[in-house]
Structure 1
Amino acid sequence: MPIRSMPTAPGATPRHYLMCEPVHYTVSYEINPWMDSTRATDTDLAVRQWRTLRDVYLDLGHTVETIEPLGGYPDMVYAANGALVVDGIVYSAKFRHPERAAEGPAYQKWFADRGYVTHTAAQVNEGEGDILVVGDVILAGTGFRTDRAAHAEMQDLFGRAVISLELVDPHYYHLDTALAVLSSDPASPQIAYYPPAFSRSSQSVLARMFPDAVIATDRDAAALGLNAVSDGLNVVVAPGAVDLAPAIRERGYTPIPVDTSELLKGGGGAKCCTLEIRPTP
């Protein structure tokens, strides 16, 4: 049955986020089309933009914790890739590229040290980068970073339906670059997405499940505008998401532009920098 979305936002709920300050940020290798190791990066600017993002969350009343960054792992700032946390259970990341391999265990240790139940993934997956919770359903990307076998592993672990979605454009190599969860309320789930990032069959699945979804434009996608973070009302978006912002405002959401342009050089935006910790019900 399709998931029918409400035309307006249901309202904000307090969130719990984990983030990693980009003190070691640079682009020293290339593992996605956004990365150019010959292009200069400004670590101080990345830190300032990250701190602004963190402060927006705090001003909205959300809880933000931080993990100590590992030297030599400049992509650790993209905390969403480090794990998936559903119902208080942590599913660890197992990165495809060796340049990021140590990040999964580092995030898993952070959670284990704080008493969370953790599960060491057997299958390649990149956490919330490819795995998004919408109501009672998990949307799971595949095609570039996360193996489809990880979807079955997650379904067994969480006991929730997992919907596999195939990504076909390497610029949108993670699900959270092509799809944003606007409302995760089971009574009124809503998303925004960019259809060309998905295979035709996955486009059909999304159209059936979310007939009232916000459809992003080419320039929204090119600005990584779908790498957004919503608390159910307030949506942190890239300033370049010039079509997405008014589109979601019409649905009752409040877009909050936050510049993460320096971090975009590594292929990430607000969502990439934000791992949501979903508590035990």
Structure 2
Amino acid sequence: MTKKQSIYTSADQLDFTISDLQAMPVPSEVLMVKPTYFDVEYVINPHMKGHVGRVDKMQAQNEWEHLADAYEEHGFRVHMLDGMRGMPDMVFCANQSLPFIDTDGTRKVIMSIMHAEQRKKEVDAIEAWYRTQDYEILHLDPEKVSDFEGMGDAIWHFRRRLLWGGYGFRSSIEAYEEVSRLLDTPVIALELVDDKFYHLDTCFCSLDEKTVLVYPDAFTNEGMKLIHALYKNVIEATSYEAEKLFAVNAACPDGKNVFIQQGCTDVNKKLRDAGFAVHEFSTYEFIKSGGSVFCMKMMLWR
């Protein structure tokens, strides 16, 4: 398609359909950071309140291993990076970067500018790993962009060169002007309005080209119009399952299999009715820190 503008903030601005967009291959690899030093040591989101020092580290390790095993069982190569002391949230490795594969096969990554001071050191640690993998490293201009939290807020449309970008709590809308320019990719910008859903990945899960799982109350009316304009099938989570069980912080790495926190009865039925295979995981220890399945991995291209 010929990109007419970079950022779309209302349905009236849309001048393309999903079929107009360039295709993009499905990632075949996964990065995960070991939870060796995972804990709740501070409060930077509403879910952390009351959980400082209350993580069962042995249980967290078990939960993490079961999820990592599932990616390997489904044919993904899993890169396991050691956690680092003093970076308890580094395990949520969806946040420090936004990787991308260009049309010529070049692998690129935009590094994040973390909103919370407590997490800024994580970016350098993740960047060091990307350098060992021959990624082209890109940085946002700190004079133009105050914060951007990678794939926590910037989510690729399945198999298409389109980014869905959340802003309002952890990423600024100005970031997407830079991201769009660096990757030559249009961005659908969605304002987030509930601080319990502070990242887009807590309330928006791209399942396949036509289907998305969302929590509607996390968005403005205009945001929901944009979602309905570009997705044929919109599955909605209840407030209980979205907030308490992080139902929408699921992952569908191949367009068929959905990895999700256990106990999401309503959402899981809707997913199965829509033809998806559902795989439940316990991530209760990580929910104490405000993250679940999606947050705990980064999808990568080879």
Q: Which residue of 2 aligns with 1:50?
A: 64
1:171 aligns with 2:193: no
Give SS of 1:75's match.
Answer: coil
Change (3 A) 1:272 1:169: same
Change (3 A) 1:22 1:125: same
What TM-score do the two structures reach when normalised by structure 2? 0.85
1:147 aligns with 2:172: yes
Picking from 256, 260, 267, the partner of 1:237 is 260
Which stretches in structure 2 are left out of the alignment for 5+ residues?
1-14, 20-25, 102-106
Give SS of 1:81's match.
Answer: coil
Deviation at 1:70, TM superposition (A): 1.5
8 Å contact from structure 2 (residues 42, 52) kept in 1: no
Q: Which runs of 4+ in 1 moved over 6 A?
A: none
Deviation at 1:51, TM superposition (A): 0.5
Q: Aligned ranges for residues 98-109 of structure 1 at < 5 Å?
A: 98-109=117-128
Picking from 253, 272, 275, the partner of 2:295 is 272
Q: Which residue of 2 aligns with 1:138?
A: 163
Deviation at 1:114, TM superposition (A): 2.0
Query: Which whole-Å CA distance do the structure 2 matches of 1:270 and 1:3 have between them?
Result: 29
Q: Which amino acid aligns with 2:42?
A: Y
Picking from 41, 59, 62, the partner of 1:28 is 41
8 Å contact from structure 2 (residues 29, 301) kept in 1: yes
- 1:163-211 Cα distance to aligned partner (Å, 9 max, x none): 100000001000000011111xxxx332111110011221221122224
Give SS of 1:164's match.
Answer: strand
Query: Which whole-Å CA distance do the structure 1 matches of 2:32 and 2:290 have between them?
Result: 16
Q: Which of the pair has the greater relative contact order for Cα pairs under 8 Å at 6+ separation?
A: 1
What TM-score do the two structures reach when normalised by structure 1? 0.91
Deviation at 1:110, TM superposition (A): 0.8
Picking from 252, 275, 280, the partner of 1:252 is 275
Change (3 A) 1:191 1:2: farther
Query: Which whole-Å CA distance do the structure 2 matches of 1:278 and 1:171 have between them?
Result: 31
Q: Which residue of 2 aligns with 1:17?
A: 30
Change (3 A) 1:238 1:166: same
Q: Which amino acid aligns with 2:87?
A: Y
Deviation at 1:68, TM superposition (A): 2.2
RMSD (CA atoms): 1.8
Deviation at 1:216, TM superposition (A): 1.6
8 Å contact from structure 1 (residues 238, 257) kept in 2: yes
Which stretches in structure 1 are left out of the alignment for 5+ residues?
6-12
1:194 aligns with 2:215: yes
Picking from 163, 187, 193, the partner of 1:162 is 187
8 Å contact from structure 1 (residues 130, 142) kept in 2: yes
Aligned length: 269
Identical positions, percent: 30
Q: Which amino acid aligns with 1:56?
A: A
Q: Which amino acid aligns with 2:238?
A: T
